[in-house]
């Protein structure tokens, strides 16, 4: 049904273009509707790093940003105009570290990995203004078909990037009980090489590796010779590599091995000049996942946001009960981890390292998809980022880290029209990203935004 609707719209656009172009007939049908939509009288923060612009019109053509017009500029007569006086538009968020399909109804595990569950979660992400989701290494094979359907416009969902099957360690991370049951666990560099070659056939968007021992809870860490082989081979296939890290020493070795970004913060100690130098010289980025560390303890504190609709609507059935004492047992050491992670994120951002936004949402039932991405922005601001710096992490910096900067992460002409319409200005208070009026993905307003 969706497909036939798209064809009809494309045909209509074709007929319209004929009537306006008497001297020639286009050789082929346009690939998508090219109708013009104008969102007028908005404050626009475009994600590029430029200051917000007041009282402008964002012009969409089909799925793309066409132009930004100053107030008073003439608007093409065929355009559909929507007056959004008082609203603020920001690019849709890019969630650079999430997991799809692992959680459902208050439980986590591989049994939840179904297309229906992944679709349900993608829809929730979209409602929360997340326009791109990176699923980092825990997927089953059906993700590739689902990605193809999404990228062909057959389902309403955020843009999907997947690492497919990630790389862990035999009798090591990631824990099988978290549902990470189809992760490669090579026992030698030669096996790692074959595994990367197998994965590359599936055309993942990036490669994920888990290198440490989850706070000494696992028997083995990944041998550096193995991750060196994975990274080297991945690069031959044009694939970036993201690493799960915790320890400073691992981060240094990974940077020397050519890893592209860290999927978590260094949390055992403050980053030092040597790591900063390595990251800067090898263009290594960071996804701090501060909300992961917070989620280990914060529910025991019952912050005011736990009673907000914005939080509660993100919860699966059965999760709320598990966040209450005594069911929820806080991990007190994560308070210290969070403080170190915040300091390190700020130090690296100030040193010019690309610091993006990701949360590890969906890896456990405590990392709440959709909500976590907004909480991460607030935590980055707590860490010392300005609201604009935090929003940049979640938009244009992430786009660049993921190689999407030609199409996503900022609202300038020819970029995908993925954006959130907010009722209040997030540059004044970062929690205003939670005041979502509408979400638009690829030029279409999505149904039922929260």
- For residues 34 and 13, the answer to whether their CB atoms sit within 8 Å is yes
Which range, of 17-25, 48-56, 108-116, 352-360, touches Zn ion by CB under 5 A? 352-360
Residue number, 355 or 420, with CB nearest to Zn ion: 355
Tokens of 307: 């009673």
- For residues 60 and 36, the answer to whether their CB atoms sit within 8 Å is yes
Residue number, 13 or 161, with CB nearest to Zn ion: 161
Supply the minimum distance, in Å, between the C-beta of residue 358 and Zn ion: 8
CA distances from 353 to 278, 281, 345, 356, 367 (A): 10, 10, 9, 10, 26
Residue number, 92 or 363, with CB nearest to Zn ion: 363
Which range, of 16-24, 50-58, 134-142, 215-223, touches Zn ion by CB under 5 A? 134-142
Task: Decide: residue 343, CB within 10 A, 0-12 exposed, 13-18 middle, 19+ buried.
Answer: middle
Supply the minimum distance, in Å, between the C-beta of residue 346 and Zn ion: 22
Supply the minimum distance, in Å, between the C-beta of residue 449 and Zn ion: 26
Which of 46, 213, 250, 360 is close enough to bind Zn ion by CB under 5 A? 360
Which range, of 136-144, 308-316, 381-389, 412-420, touches Zn ion by CB under 5 A? 136-144
Which of 192, 275, 363, 399 is close enough to bind Zn ion by CB under 5 A? 363
Residue number, 81 or 110, with CB nearest to Zn ion: 110
Task: Decide: residue 2, CB within 10 A, 0-12 exposed, 13-18 middle, 19+ buried.
Answer: exposed
Residue number, 212 or 360, with CB nearest to Zn ion: 360
Residue number, 178 or 353, with CB nearest to Zn ion: 178
Which range, of 101-109, 299-307, 357-365, 418-426, touches Zn ion by CB under 5 A? 357-365
How do 64-70 and 53-61 pair as beta strands?
antiparallel
Distance CA 104, CA 34 (A): 39
Residue number, 136 or 439, with CB nearest to Zn ion: 136
Which range, of 193-201, 235-243, 270-278, 354-362, touches Zn ion by CB under 5 A? 354-362
Minimal CB distance to Zn ion: which residue? 360
Supply the minimum distance, in Å, between the C-beta of residue 277 and Zn ion: 27
Q: How many CB atoms lie within 10 A of CB 70?
A: 10
**Which residue, chain included where needed, has tokens 């263009």?**
283
Report DSSP state, residue 430: G
Residue number, 43 or 244, with CB nearest to Zn ion: 244
Could you tell me where the DSSP H helices lie in 32-177? 115-127, 142-151
Task: Decide: residue 160, CB within 10 A, 0-12 exposed, 13-18 middle, 19+ buried.
Answer: buried
User: Which string of b and e fits 291-329 if b means at least 16 CB within 10 Å?
Assistant: bbbbbbbbbeeeeebeeeebbeebbbeebeeebeeeeee
**Which residue, chain included where needed, has tokens 């009798």?**
171
* Number of residues located near Zn ion, criterion CB under 5 A: 3
Supply the minimum distance, in Å, between the C-beta of residue 97 and Zn ion: 6
Q: Is 139 an interacting residue with respect to Zn ion (CB under 5 A)?
A: no
Supply the minimum distance, in Å, between the C-beta of residue 208 and Zn ion: 8
Q: Is 95 an interacting residue with respect to Zn ion (CB under 5 A)?
A: no
First to last CA, the chain: 25
Residue number, 210 or 419, with CB nearest to Zn ion: 210
Return all residues near 192 (Cβ < 8 A) that are at least 6 apart. 167, 184, 186, 226, 227, 229, 230, 233
Supply the minimum distance, in Å, between the C-beta of residue 361 and Zn ion: 9
- Note the residues at the interface with Zn ion (CB under 5 A): 136, 360, 363
């Amino acid at each position: 049904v969706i497909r036939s609707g798209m064809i009809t719209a494309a045909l209509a656009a074709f007929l319209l273009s004929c009537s306006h172009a008497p001297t020639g007939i286009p050789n082929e049908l346009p690939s998508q509707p090219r109708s013009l939509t104008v969102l007028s009288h908005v404050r626009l923060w475009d994600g590029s790093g430029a200051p917000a612009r007041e009282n402008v019109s964002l012009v969409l053509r089909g799925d793309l940003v066409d132009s930004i017009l100053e107030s008073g500029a003439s608007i093409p007569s065929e355009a559909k105009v929507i007056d959004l006086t008082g609203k603020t538009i920001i690019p849709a968020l890019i969630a650079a570290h999430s997991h799809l399909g692992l959680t459902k109804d208050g439980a986590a595990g591989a049994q939840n990995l179904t297309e229906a569950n992944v679709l349900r979660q993608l829809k929730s992400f979209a409602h929360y203004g997340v326009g791109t989701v990176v699923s980092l290494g825990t997927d089953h094979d059906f993700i590739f078909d689902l990605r193809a359907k999404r990228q062909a416009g057959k389902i309403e969902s955020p843009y999907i990037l997947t690492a497919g099957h990630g790389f862990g360690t035999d009798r090591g991370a990631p824990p099988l009980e978290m549902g990470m049951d189809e992760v490669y666990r090579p026992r030698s560099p030669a096996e790692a090489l074959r595994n990367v070659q197998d994965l590359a056939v599936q055309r993942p968007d990036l490669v994920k590796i888990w290198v440490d021992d989850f706070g000494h809870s696992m028997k083995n860490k990944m041998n550096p010779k193995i991750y060196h082989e994975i990274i080297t081979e991945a690069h031959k296939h044009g694939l970036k590599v993201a690493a799960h890290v915790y320890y400073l020493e691992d981060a240094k070795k990974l940077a020397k091995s050519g890893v592209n970004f860290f999927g978590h913060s260094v949390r055992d100690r403050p980053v030092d000049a040597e790591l900063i130098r390595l990251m800067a010289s090898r263009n290594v980025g960071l996804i701090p996942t501060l909300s992961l560390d917070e989620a280990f303890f914060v529910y025991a504190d019952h912050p005011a946001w736990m009673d907000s609709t914005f939080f509660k609507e993100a919860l699966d059935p059965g999760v709320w009960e598990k966040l209450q004492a005594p069911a929820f047992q806080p991990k007190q050491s994560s308070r210290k981890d969070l403080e170190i992670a915040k300091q390190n994120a700020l130090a690296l951002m100030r040193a010019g390292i690309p610091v993006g936004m990701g949360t590890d949402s969906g890896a456990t039932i405590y990392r709440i998809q959709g909500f976590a991405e907004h909480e991460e922005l607030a935590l980055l601001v707590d860490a010392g980022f300005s609201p604009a710096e935090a929003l940049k992490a979640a938009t244009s910096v992430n786009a660049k880290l993921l190689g999407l900067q030609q199409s996503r992460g900022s609202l300038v002409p020819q970029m995908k029209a993925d954006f959130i319409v907010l009722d209040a200005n997030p540059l004044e208070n970062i929690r205003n990203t939670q005041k979502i009026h509408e979400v638009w993905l690829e030029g279409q307003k999505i149904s039922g935004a929260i």
